[in-house]
Structure 1
Amino acid sequence: MSQLKVLGISPLKPSIELQTLYNRQIIWWLSACALTIFGMILLGGVTRLTGSGLSMVEWRPIMGVVPPLTANDWQILFVKYQQFPEYKIINNGMSLGEFKKIFMYEYLHRMLGRLIGIMFILPFIFFYVTGRTPKGLSPKLFLILTLGAAQGVLGWYMVQSGLTNDPRVSQYRLTAHLSNAVIIYSLIIWVTLDLLNRPDRQPAHLLLPSCLILALIFIMIVSGGLMAGTRAGYAYPTFPLMGDSFVPKEIYSMQPIWLSIFEDIATIQFNHRILAYFTTFAIILFVIRALRSDISDAFKTGVKCISILITLQITLGISTLLLHVPTPLAAAHQSGAVALLTASIYITHTLYRAKDSRDSS
C-alpha cells in the first residue's frame, strides 16, 4: 500500500520524467544533510579540542534551544557548572567570560544537531507522504532516521560520563558517538549515490580492494576516536619513532592484554599509526592498479582524488602530532579523515553498481 493510499488518496505512478525530477529533489536534500553532518563532525571535534563538551551540564531537548539571554541567565548556568568536577579539578578559577566561550561551542554543537534533525525529518515526511521516494528508498531513510535519534541519546550518554568524579568523557562513549555520526554520514552519501550514479563498466577486480580500503578508513576513524578520548596524541609527539623506538616497549602491557587496545595510551597511538601505514599502502597499490586498468574518466577522477586526500591526511596527521595537537590542525585532520572516507565510498559505490550492472546483463 502506498503512502498516499494510507491518507485515502489514490496516487498515480509518476512518469519517468517526473520521478527523475523527484530524485533530483531528494539528491539535493540528502546532499545538504550530508554537508551539514560533515560540519557537525568538524564542530564536534573543535568542541572536544577546546575542552567545551562538559560546559552544558543539563540535557534539555526542548527548552535547551533557548540560549542564555541575560546576565542572570549566564550566572545561573555558570553556578551550575561550578558544581561539577571539571570546574573544581581542571577549570577552578575560570572567569564568566571564559565559561561563555566554552559554553557557546557546546551550545552550537547541540543546536546544529537539532537543525540536522529538522532538515532530515520534515523533508522526509513530505517526500514519503507524497509518494516521491522511489521504490526501496524509504526503509533506508527510516534506518538513517533511527540512527539519528540514537545519536542524540549517545551524545548525552557521552557527556554524562564526564560529569562524574573523573571529569573526562569515556573514550568508549566518545568513540561510539563519533562512529555513529560517521555511519549516518556514510549511509546518506551511499543512498545519494544510489540516486545519482548510473551503472558504468568498471574492472571487477577492483571491487574487493576498494571494500578493504573503505573498511580500513572506517577502522582508522574509530581508532582516532580512541586517540581523542584518551588524549593519546600528546603522548609521543615524535615521528617516525615513538620516543626512542618504532615499537615502544610500553605497548600491550595491560592485563588482560586486549584491554590495551582501548585503554593504554601507547598501544592506542601505535595502533593508529599502524592503521595509517596499512591504509596508505593499500591506497597506493589500489591507485596504481586502477590507473593501469580500463576505467572511465569520472572514476579516474575519484581515484586521483583519493590519492591526493591520503597525502593530505598523512601530512595533517604528522603535523598534528609534532606540533602537540593544535586545535586547527587536529580539527582539519579529523575532517580530512571524513573527506577520505567520502572518496572511498564514491569509488566503492561506483564499482558495486558496475557489478550489479554486469550481474543483471
Structure 2
Amino acid sequence: MSQKRKLFEEVSDEPGADARPAPQGGMIDRGRGGARRLIRAWLVVLFVLVVVMIAVGGLTRLTGSGLSITEWKPITGALPPMNAADWQAEFELYQQIPQFQIENRGMDLAEFKAIYWWEWGHRQLGRIIGLVWAVGFLGFLAARRIPAGWTVRLLLPGVLGGAQGAIGWWMVSSGLSGERTAVASYRLAIHLGLAFVILGVIAWYVMMLARPERDLMQARRGREARLFGLATGWLHFAFLQILIGALVAGIDAGRSYTEWPLMGGALWPPQMMVIEPWWRNFFENPGTVQFIHRMIGYLLLAFTVVVWLRGRRSAYTATRAAFSAGLIAVLAQIGLGIATVLTAAAWQVAIVHQMMAVAVWVLILRARFHAQYPLPQSVRG
C-alpha cells in the first residue's frame, strides 16, 4: 500500500524528480540562432562598400570618366593595362566613340589615363563588393550559421548586385555609339536607383539583426501602423526624387539655370516643351528636368513636415528622434541642392549633395523601421 503524500511535501522529494529536464527559456530564438552578430558585421562591411561605390560612381560621372572603358570584361577586365602597348590599345578604343570625337578630340594619353582610372576603380570596387558578398554568404551557408528564414534574404543582395553589374554595362553601352556623348539619363537613373535599393535592403537587415528575434516579435506588437504607412510613403517619395536627381545629373541639367528661386527670371523656364516628341522633354530638356526636380523637392519638403508632425506624436522616444533625424536630413539636402544650383553644379558641392541623398535615404528607412519595431521603454519614457 502506497504512502499518502504529505500536504506540504516538496515536489522535488518525489523519486526521479531530479531527472526531469528543467524548463528552457528563449524558445523563440531556438532554431533561429545562427551567427547573427557575425552576419551583421559582414553586412555592415557591405553597406560601407556600397556607400563608397555610390561616391566613386558620382565622381566618375562628374569627371566624365564613365565611357573611358569601352568593353565589358567581368573577369579579365580586373587587370588594368600593364604596359605602353596596352595603354595605347585602350586609348584607340576610346578614340572611336562619340565622346572623344565630339568633346575630347584634343585629349592626349596622359589625360586619358586620368579618366580611365576612375572608371576602372568603379568597376573594380563592384568586383570587390561581389567577392565580399560571395565569400560571406557561401561561408555562412557552408558552416550552417545562417539563422532560420535568412538564407533567401541574404541571397537577395547578391542577386541584385549581379543585376547591377549588367545594368551598369547596359548604361555604358548607350554612350558608345550614335551621336550621344554621355550615357542615357534614364539608364543612369535605373543604375543609381538600384544602388539605393541594394543599400536599403542591406541597411534594413542590419537594423533587424541588431536585435534578437524575440525582441523583434515583441516590438511588433507595438507597431504604429499609420506612422509606418506614412514612413513608407515618405521613403517612396524620396526615392522618386533620387531618380529625378539622376536624370538631372545625366544631362547636366544642374548647370542650365544657376539661380534660385527663379529660373531664367521666371517661376518656370522658357521652352519647356520644345523637343519633339513631347515626352522626350521629361528626359532630355535640361530646363524641364531641373524644374521637375525643384518642384518635387518642394513637395517632398511639405510631405516631410507632415510625416514629422505625425512622428512627434509617437509614444516612443526613439521613434520620435528617428523622425526628427529624417527631417533634419531633408532640410540639409534641400540646402545643398540650392547650393549645387548656385555653384553651377561644382563637383565638390554636387558630390556632397549626392552623398547627402544617401543619408536621407537611410535615415528615412530608420524612421520606418522604428515605426515597425519600436524600442521598448519605461512607463515614464
**TM-score exceeds 0.5:** yes
Q: Per-residue displacement from partner, 1:117-158 (whole Å, max 9, x unpaired)?
A: 001111101112222222222112223222111111111111
Name which of structure 1's ranges 185-194 and 68-77 shifts more when overlaid on structure 2: 68-77
Q: 1:172 is aligned with what amino acid?
A: Y
Deviation at 1:75, TM superposition (A): 2.2
Q: How far, CA to CA, are the matches of 1:85 and 1:277 in structure 2?
A: 37
CA contact (8 A) 1:31 1:192 kept: yes
Name which of structure 1's ranges 75-84 and 257-266 shifts more when overlaid on structure 2: 257-266
Deviation at 1:205, TM superposition (A): 3.2
Q: Which residue of 153, 162, 166 maps to 1:140?
A: 153
Deviation at 1:236, TM superposition (A): 1.2
The gaps in structure 1 that reach 5 residues or longer are: 1-13, 356-361
Identify the residue that residue 237 of structure 1 maps to in structure 2: 258
SS at match of 2:373: helix
Q: Which residue of 193, 202, 212 maps to 1:179?
A: 193
Q: Per-residue displacement from partner, 1:323-347 (whole Å, max 9, x unpaired)?
A: 0111111111111111100001111
Q: 1:72 is aligned with what amino acid?
A: A
Q: How far, CA to CA, are the matches of 1:329 and 1:173 in structure 2?
A: 23
Q: 1:337 is aligned with what amino acid?
A: A
Q: Per-residue displacement from partner, 1:221-274 (whole Å, max 9, x unpaired)?
A: 111111111221111111111112112343345555444322332221111111
Q: How far, CA to CA, are the matches of 2:208 and 2:262 in structure 1?
A: 43
The gaps in structure 2 that reach 5 residues or longer are: 1-26, 376-381
Deviation at 1:354, TM superposition (A): 4.8
Alignment of 1:1-361 (within 5 A): 16=29, 22-166=35-179, 167-197=181-211, 198-199=215-216, 200=219, 201=222, 203-254=224-275, 257-296=278-317, 298-354=318-374
Q: 1:277 is aligned with what amino acid?
A: Y
Call closer, same or farther: CA 1:292–1:19 in 2, change over 3 Å: closer
Q: Per-residue displacement from partner, 1:160-216 (whole Å, max 9, x unpaired)?
A: 111113222111211111111111111111122222254444644322221111011
| Shift >6 Å, 4+ stretches | none
Q: Per-residue displacement from partner, 1:82-127 (whole Å, max 9, x unpaired)?
A: 2222111111111222111111100100000000000111110111
- State which structure, 1 or 2, has the greater radius of gyration over its C-alpha atoms: 2
User: Which structure: greater helix fraction?
Assistant: 1
Q: How far, CA to CA, are the matches of 1:244 and 1:228 in structure 2?
A: 23
CA contact (8 A) 1:302 1:346 kept: yes
Deviation at 1:286, TM superposition (A): 2.1
Paired-residue identity, %: 37
Q: 1:223 is aligned with what amino acid?
A: I
Deviation at 1:287, TM superposition (A): 2.1
Name which of structure 1's ranges 333-342 and 240-249 shifts more when overlaid on structure 2: 240-249
Count, aligned residues: 341
Q: 1:275 is aligned with what amino acid?
A: I
CA contact (8 A) 1:47 1:53 kept: yes
Identify the residue that residue 8 of structure 1 maps to in structure 2: none
CA contact (8 A) 2:67 2:172 kept: yes
Q: How far, CA to CA, are the matches of 1:157 and 1:204 in structure 2?
A: 40
CA contact (8 A) 2:32 2:148 kept: no
Call closer, same or farther: CA 1:328–1:256 in 2, change over 3 Å: same
CA contact (8 A) 1:202 1:294 kept: no
